[in-house]
Structure 1
Amino acid sequence: MNKMNSWNELKCIKSRHVKEIFCSVRSPGRRVVEFVVRLRNVPGAIAKVSKALADLNVNILSGFHTAPPEEETGSWSFFADLSESGIEPEELAEKLKELKEVLDVNFSKGDFNGIFIDDMHFPMTVMGERCAVFRVETIGKMFGSLMEKFGSGAAFILYIMGVGAGEAKIDSVTKRYGIGGVKALQAVLAERMAKGWGIPRLAEFNQEKLEALIEVEDLFECLPYMGRKIGPQSLFFKGYLEGAFKRLFNKEFEVKEVECIAKGDEKCKFVVSVRRT
């Protein structure tokens, strides 16, 4: 098989960083307020707001901003510590509204004994699609409970769930990006990292035989069992790969997990080949 450059290698990424989802901040005894600022989608808009906050001695904590290139407006959401500023959130909101780049300002003062939880955003979306977040540990317990109670039946169900999800993802990616074949596959794998599934890489691919080797670091499905099991643990993701290849190349495929972090390997490795009839 031919060795492949990964999507990330092609973009010359030199390091990766934790992507913390904006959810809450713990700061007992501080005046923390959550703000959502609607802005014009123009250069310097966030800088103007940031300067106004700095001039008032307001400390910006964690947050995020969205500004789709095709939209004329965007938003900046963040927790801010007003403890050293002496200003009330109502007054601060009015001052920010005076900036020509600012269209609207909303805020929330929710406080659970020093824990400030985002109560201004719902639903959660990723690339415009509705989503929900589960901890890796929770997923591990869910899958583990199924396996304990239903054994091989649960394994089959998880695998089939993965197949369906992989097929649906290819449909979504080909429609969104207008690409197919190995490029669509690389896009799907790149999205898995962006969504926190793991760090996948198309290590080898034979276009003629439609055979592939896919490596995944920190695969979410196997992380709860790292170093604790005697055999490979991936069921859902293995099915996901089968579904993706099946939809992309209109053939039946077989996927084998030949290495797994659950049994002490450095990463999970999957060999994909056309199913022999």
Structure 2
Amino acid sequence: MVDLRSWGIREIYFPDRKIVVTSVELESGINNIINILKSLSEHGINILSCILQAHPDRPLVQTTLFLDLTDADIVSEEVSSLLRATSYVKRIELLDLPLNHGEARLVVFTLEDIHYLFGMLRELGNGGLAIMYHMGFRAGKALAERILSYFKDSKRSLMYTLLYNESLGHGKFKLEEYIERAYCRIVARELSECLEVKSDKPNSQLFRGILAGCISKLWDEEVEVKETKCIAMGDPYCEFEVEIK
């Protein structure tokens, strides 16, 4: 019997398709988004999914695209060049590897649902906070184990982890500093776990656990993750520092 949990979506559902995921940051404006989609379509690229994250007071839009290049007249490397040639695309990351999105299906919770579930755990006190942290830790470690089968570079693996979580709508992430097996600093904007939460101390447990589990596996070392800034405390973004214990 085949263990489907070890297979990516491409092997299970699309064994012969060339599927890639790309994250694009571009200037706000509906015409810019339409032009990107039109340009991709003109090259025979099938757009499987387009996830947009925007804010009315911000000049840039974040979009995650799942693309099928099977019948395209360009290869994945040329997709990056095509989009970078426009004046309004500011950043692009493209990954060509087996995807784990939807190994069975994606389950969507509203932000209100998430806050309700997390609120119940917080009412349990330190025990509930520990549950949230260790849920994240195990999820982060499992994700890192899958990623390491494709990337041998720890930094690139971490950047993919951040992109993966970003594509799921968990927030917008940037690796600000990185010293291999020693230290890194990550900025998280609009972290879903902390949105619309008011607190006098750092609020993140789940994502902090995800980082701890992931990076401890990537570095093969026990690490400590501290949330040094948090939007729940009124900071403009959440910030995490990771060090070897």
Instruction: Output the TM-score relative to the length of structure 1.
Output: 0.54
Match for 2:140 among 166, 170, 173? 166
CA contact (8 A) 2:45 2:67 kept: no
Deviation, structure 1 residue 251: 0.4
- Tell me how far apart the structure 2 counterparts of residues 266 and 68 of structure 1 sit (CA, whole Å): 36
Read off the aligned partner of 1:231 and give its amino acid letter: K
Matching of residue 145 in structure 1 with residue 120 in structure 2: yes
Matching of residue 135 in structure 1 with residue 91 in structure 2: no
- 1:239 corresponds to: 209
Match for 1:224 among 177, 196, 213? 196
Judging changes above 3 Å, is the alpha-carbon distance between structure 1 residues 247 and 67 closer, same or farther for their aligned structure 2 residues?
closer
- Tell me how far apart the structure 2 counterparts of residues 214 and 234 of structure 1 sit (CA, whole Å): 13
- 1:193 corresponds to: 166
Deviation, structure 1 residue 229: 1.2
CA contact (8 A) 1:136 1:224 kept: no
- Tell me how far apart the structure 2 counterparts of residues 251 and 244 of structure 1 sit (CA, whole Å): 11
Per-residue Cα deviation, 1:174-195 (whole angstroms, up to 9, x for no partner): 33x4343100001111121111
Judging changes above 3 Å, is the alpha-carbon distance between structure 1 residues 16 and 272 closer, same or farther for their aligned structure 2 residues?
farther
Match for 2:129 among 118, 137, 155? 155
CA RMSD of aligned residues (A): 3.0
Which stretches of structure 1, 4 residues or longer, exceed 2 Å deviation after superposition? Answer: 11-18, 41-46, 65-72, 125-130, 172-175, 177-180
- 1:15 corresponds to: 27
Would you say how many aligned residue pairs link Structure 1 and Structure 2? 168
CA contact (8 A) 1:137 1:224 kept: no
Unmatched segments (≥5 aa) in structure 1: 1-10, 19-40, 47-64, 73-124
SS in structure 2 at match of 1:13? strand
SS in structure 2 at match of 1:221? coil
- Tell me how far apart the structure 2 counterparts of residues 200 and 186 of structure 1 sit (CA, whole Å): 9
- 2:156 corresponds to: 183
- Tell me how far apart the structure 2 counterparts of residues 167 and 45 of structure 1 sit (CA, whole Å): 33
Deviation, structure 1 residue 145: 1.2
Deviation, structure 1 residue 45: 9.8
Higher Rg of the two aligned structures: 1
Read off the aligned partner of 2:191 and give its amino acid letter: L
- Tell me how far apart the structure 2 counterparts of residues 239 and 182 of structure 1 sit (CA, whole Å): 18
Deviation, structure 1 residue 210: 1.6
- 2:68 corresponds to: 68
CA contact (8 A) 2:228 2:241 kept: yes
